[in-house]
Amino acid sequence: MAKLLETVDLVTNFYTYEGVVKALNKVSLVMDHGVTFGLVGESGCGKSVTARSIMRIVQEPGRIEGGKVIVFLDEKDKQAGIDLLDQSETYMEGLRGDRISMIFQEPNAALNPTMSIGDQVSESFLFHQKKEMCAKILEDLCAPECHAFYPFKKFQQALYRIAARNPGSLALRILNRIPIVKRWQKRLKKEAKTRAIEILKKLSIPHSEQVVEQYPHNLSGGMKQRIVIAIALACSPMLLIADEATSNLDVTIQAQILELLHRLKEEVISSILLITHDLGVVAETCDRVGVMYAGNLCEVADVKDLFDSPLHPYTRALLDAVPRFSMEGKLKSIEGDVPNLVTPPPGCRFHPRCPHAMDICRMELPELTDMGNNHLMACHLIDC
């Protein structure tokens, strides 16, 4: 399988009043096409920051300070990797929502309360598919069945011809500011709305024609999350990043959403980066898993491998801590506290809590090494 995404030694810091929070400490993640990759870890370990660093939408006062984020957007040509950190903001704006999309944790806040659902979903199409839509409208306009008032028709044909070639041309931008003239965009907006209704239907949202006219406060939480997914999938991206997308929903809705994502993976998207703290979700839905702790990737493996034979001490402790019906006695927990990322422990950040800590763990950060079968681990206990 071809590589889709590779981060190399990604470093992201947050400059706060209390000091510099070293959120990502040389994270090197590799993800292939067609894979559902689960990124797990405790709250505050840096999973969301990694996702946002990939999309380059890290919040203030965060800054990406080092490393590379290489994406291989052309599935056939494996060599065509682009370092996202080198690209301009305009390029990133074109990428976001079109090739890589992201959905977030809180569906109630993720939608603009004063814009209709239709407008918000159409926005994705208007950002990325203007050319195609204009070309299609032009075709319709030139077709013999089009019965529009002749001068308007000619005028619109001319405009759409320009738009199909270059939507951001100066002429169009000027025309868009003139009150009556800018109505030429009506067809475009209508086309975008049609596509919006289509994608809503694809996500099994009932009564999509009515939903499109409604506002976020008219809908339930589960429905809103579907809309958010619809927005993300509107332009058929190659990668969908789901940042704790089901954490705020109740269990039944959660199951529905996960099933939806699974079905869509077959039809629409090819790869998903699923960020969660729920090991159960990972076991159910993911092909490959990465475990993060305090800004470092500790272990990456295929999902069966990870659960059958966890290698890293942290992963082992994590899996031990999951309560099972067959257990008796006290619940197992991991000793100690999550480190303060302003003054993180030197070397391996897990060493203060690790039962197998050695001297070298205090001094050197371990690198991710392949232990066979594409099972990677970052620990100095390689020989154990």
Partner 1 sequence: MSQRHPRLRELKFTLYRIIRNPSAVIGFTLLLFFAGVALFAPQIAPPKYTYNPYMMPHKGFSPTPKPPSDTNIFGTTSGQYDIFYGAVWGTRTAFKIGLFVVGIAVLVGVTLGAVSGYFGGIIDEIIMRITDIMWAIPTLVLAMAIVVAFGRGLDKIMIALAMVQWRWYVRVLRSEILTLRDQDFVQAAKTMGVSDLKIILRHILPNAIYPILILASMDMGSMVITASFMSFVGLGAPKGYSDWGQMVALARNYIVGPPDDPLKFWYTIVIPGACIVLFVLAWNLIGDALRDAFDPKLRRR
Partner 2 sequence: MLAYVIRRFFLLFFVLFGVSVLLFGILMTFSPERRAATYVSSPQQAKDIPRIIKKFGLDDPFYVQYVRWIKELSKGNMGWSLVASRPVGEAFWRYLPVTLEMNLFAAPIVILFGIWLGTLAGIHRDTWIDHITRILAIVGWSLPTFLFALVLLMIFYGHFQLFSPGVLSDHLSIFIIDNPDKFTPFTGMYTIDGILNGRFDITLDSLAHLILPVMTYVIVVVALNMRVMRSGIIEELSKEYVTTARAKGADKKTVHIKHARRNALLPVVTVAGQLMAMSMEGSIAVEVVFNRHGIGWWLAESATQLDMPVLMCICLFMGVVFVITNLTLDILYGYIDPRIRLT
Least Å from the CB of residue 98 to partner 1:
32
Binding flag, residue 97, partner 2 (CB under 8 A): yes
Query: Could you give the CA distance from residue 199 to residue 24 in angstroms, rounded to a whole number?
Result: 36
Binding flag, residue 213, partner 2 (CB under 8 A): no
Q: Which of 108, 100, 68, 98 is nearest to 85 (CA)?
A: 68
Among residues 6, 42, 65, 106, which is the contact residue for partner 2, using CB under 8 A?
Answer: 106
Stretch binding partner 2 (CB under 8 A), from 3-11, 169-177, 184-192, 227-235? 227-235
Asked whether the beta carbons of 137 and 191 are under 8 A apart, the reply is: yes
Binding flag, residue 211, partner 2 (CB under 8 A): no
- Burial status of residue 270 (CB atoms within 10 A of its CB: 0-12, 13-18, 19 or more): middle
Query: Could you give the CA distance from residue 382 to residue 299 in angstroms, rounded to a whole number?
Result: 12
Handedness of CA 50, 126, 36, 316 (dihedral sign): positive
Least Å from the CB of residue 16 to partner 1:
7
Least Å from the CB of residue 58 to partner 2:
11
Helix segments in 96-215, DSSP class H? 107-110, 117-128, 130-142, 150-165, 170-175, 186-202, 208-211
Binding flag, residue 123, partner 2 (CB under 8 A): yes
Among residues 26, 128, 351, 353, which is the contact residue for partner 2, using CB under 8 A?
Answer: 128
Asked whether the beta carbons of 146 and 153 are under 8 A apart, the reply is: yes
Query: Could you give the CA distance from residue 247 to residue 133 in angstroms, rounded to a whole number?
Result: 36
Applying CB under 8 A, the site for partner 2 has a residue count of: 33
Binding flag, residue 17, partner 1 (CB under 8 A): yes
Nearer residue to partner 1 within complex by CB, 340 or 373: 340
Nearer residue to partner 1 within complex by CB, 59 or 333: 59
Helix, strand, or coil here: 342?
A: coil
Least Å from the CB of residue 335 to partner 1:
15
Stretch binding partner 2 (CB under 8 A), from 53-61, 156-164, 181-189, 355-363? 53-61
Helix, strand, or coil here: 343?
A: coil
Applying CB under 8 A, the site for partner 1 has a residue count of: 5
Least Å from the CB of residue 221 to partner 2:
13
Binding flag, residue 54, partner 2 (CB under 8 A): no
Binding flag, residue 63, partner 1 (CB under 8 A): no
Among residues 43, 60, 149, 266, which is the contact residue for partner 1, using CB under 8 A?
Answer: 60
Question: At CA 207, angle to CA 206 and CA 211, rounded to 5?
Answer: 105
Helix, strand, or coil here: 268?
A: coil
Binding flag, residue 109, partner 1 (CB under 8 A): no
- Using CB under 8 A, list all residues that contact partner 1: 16-17, 60-61, 340
